[in-house]
Chain A
Amino acid sequence: MIEVQHLAKRFGKVEALGDITFQARDGRVTGLLGPNGAGKSTTLRILYTAIRADSGSAAVDGHDCTREPLAVRRSLGVLPHATGLYPNLTARENVRYYGELQGLSGEFLERSIETLVARLDLAGIADRRAHGLSQGQRIKVALARALVHGPRNVILDEPTNGLDVMAIRTLRDLIRGLRDEGRCVLLSSHVMQEIGALCDDLVIIGKGRVVLQGSPDEVRAATGCDDLEEAFVRLSQAEHAA
């Protein structure tokens, strides 16, 4: 469960977030949508405590992001925008490193890695050095290391970036699987098609403010568009005109 209330953040003179309020519930996929520069990554960064909000509050499973950053990070699995791996470690070692830093060890850790290797179809590349992996394989490994400790909440920043159609399909299945296990999944995207089919709830933001939120059907109804992408474009244009 992720709760965000009246979040605001400035970088110098630039207002990155003006007022962001939304909820991402357990057992649902929540999509944070907006054009580039709308404040998606900043919101997520505040949630995984890489940066602090100037005002407002954010909490994960009831832990406040400012006051209890370690508790927040413990209950999160994060796939940030940059998904760099350690090139001289194998895929498996990359995942194991994160597992160890999450406090896992021994049999339990190895079993968790095996499960993810099977689930993400990594068996063929698990023992290859990361520098030889394709972009799609890298993202899968990055996803495995984000999930190695079985987090209740999963944050994915533009997870489909650089993926081909097949990889996106695998990713969608995985995200649905996480939802069906009762986890809270929050993902961001600026591409409507890939997210519309996947999300149970949409939060559309522009210029650091929430423009509209609700289920895909509610968004279609509110904008009078059948097509989610069309709705998204209209909202963005309205925002720019304002």
Chain B
Amino acid sequence: MKSPALIVAVKEIRENLRDRRTFFSALVFGPLVGPILFALMMTLTLDRAVSNLDTPLELAVSGQSVAPNLIRFLEENGTTIKTALPSLAAAQAAVRAGDADLVLVIPERYAERLQQGQPAPLDLVWDSSNNQVAKYAARAHNLLEAYGRQLAAVRLQARGISPITMLPIDVRTVDVSTPAGRSVLVLGMMTYLILFATLMGGLYLAIDATAGERERGSLEALLTLPVQRGSLIGGKILATCLFMTLSLALTVAAFTVSLRWVPLESLGMSSNFGVPVALAVLGVTLPFVPLGAGLMTVIASFTRSYKEAQTWVALVLLIPTLPILVASLYSLKENAWLMALPSLSQHLLITQLLRGDSLSASNIAISAGTSLIVGGLLVALAIRLYRREALLG
């Protein structure tokens, strides 16, 4: 004879595969939309980041004739010079209106001041609240400074002083950040999408197990059967776990396919997000499944109706974001303590896998162990709640 829990699980799976809403949210919406959107967004972001470096600096300049040497210097350094309206007020108006991004205004007295050996004024007009322009403005500013240093060196040499005098200190910047370190937020989003789709896969089943059965009026009849309540809820949680696993596997598969079109190397992620990495991602995320199923079932069993359950369980979908957000903000590195935090530990392990780092066996064990223990406790709590008389409402 088949065990009652298994009978329940088989029935739940059959029923939910026939339910259009469950089917789409668990097996289509969650696993496909996330990875596709992610890949699209990444491609666009990377495209822009890469193209920004290659494009020549475009600078609108007014009063070009006043400073031919400066213009030549800028052009020699890869700047495309355009002609702008010949006044500071006009330049400001143009930038404010969005007609121009960056305007260099060379006033008439520039040449005169330069000849006198006085600081010659230059106005660089741009809108600092526009993120797109900041990079170009910085490049233009650096070029102008460099030109100024060149002039200073010439003047010093003319007076018989070595230009080195002007460099009393030499600050060197040593940047040890890796591209992967800088892309931690992006990676965080990816792990979140994986965990989100996993939870989404079991959402409707978890709600159905308690609030759904009660609202439909099928719960009481079910409880008149000669089956332990633990077996009933156990079977339902089992079905929830299977759906979540299916969702997870589909999500990872979708990522494997969709990320082929994303130039991952420029983010420092291992460019071969192939089958081995995908399987490893699946492996480290699996222990999260019973935890999610238990948590959603417990929350659903406190609610009175399907709608109420949906509201609360949907909030659960936000829970895995919190540790990931914190990890991203503080740039946390994996250690044994963090591995004890479910969802964060999965995030850190997946991040490592995507970076192409090797995982430590103890980290995997701690992550899986704590997730499974918390999951087990939640499932036990769900069973306990299912045994209450108040279950019938």
Contacts and interface: CB of A to CB of B under 8 A. Distances in A.
Contacts of B227: 101
B228 interface: yes
Contacts, number: 79
Contact of A84 (B15, B19, B216, B228): B216
A70 B1 contact: no
Top 4 nearest A-B pairs (CB, nearest first) are A84-B217, A82-B217, A84-B218, A78-B224
B15 A88 contact: yes
A31 to B, nearest CB: 20
Chain B contact residues: over half helix, strand or loop, or mixed? helix
Given A82-B220, A84-B216, A84-B217, 14 more contacts: A45-B392, A50-B223, A50-B224, A52-B389, A73-B225, A78-B221, A80-B220, A80-B224, A88-B15, A97-B7, A100-B7, A101-B4, A101-B225, A145-B221
A110 B35 CA distance: 45
A101 B224 contact: no
Interface string B246-282: 0000000000000000000000000000000000000
A103 B3 CA distance: 9
Nearest to B17: A88
A163 B18 CA distance: 29
Contacts of A105: 1-2
Contacts of A132: none
Interface in A177-203: none
19 contacts: A48-B224, A51-B389, A51-B392, A52-B389, A70-B226, A73-B224, A80-B220, A82-B217, A84-B216, A86-B11, A89-B11, A89-B15, A98-B221, A100-B2, A101-B8, A101-B227, A145-B221, A146-B221, A146-B224
A215 B381 CA distance: 48
Q: Which of B8, B15, B16, B221 has the most CB of A within 10 A?
A: B221
Interface of A: 45, 48-52, 70-71, 73-74, 76, 78-89, 93, 97-98, 100-103, 105, 129, 142, 145-146
Contacts of B15: 86, 88-89
A100 B14 CA distance: 15
Contacts of A81: 220
Given A50-B392, A73-B226, A97 B221 contact: no
A84 B11 contact: no
B11 A82 contact: no
Interface of B: 1-2, 4, 7-8, 11, 14-16, 18-19, 213, 216-221, 223-228, 389, 392
B218 A82 contact: yes
Given A52-B389, A88-B15, A82 B221 contact: yes
Which of B7, B219, B392 has most chain A Cβ within 10 Å? B7
A74 B226 CA distance: 5
A88 B11 contact: no
B221 A102 contact: no
Contacts of A50: 220, 223-224, 389, 392
Nearest to A74: B226
A235 B11 CA distance: 47
A98 B225 contact: yes
Contacts of B225: 73, 98, 101-102
Among B8, B216, B220, B224, find the residue whose CB has the most chain A CB atoms closer than 10 A: B224
A83 B226 contact: no
A78 B216 CA distance: 17
A132 B358 CA distance: 55
Nearest to B208: A86
Contacts of B19: 88
A87 B226 contact: no
A76 to B, nearest CB: 7
Contact of B221 (A70, A71, A84, A129): A84
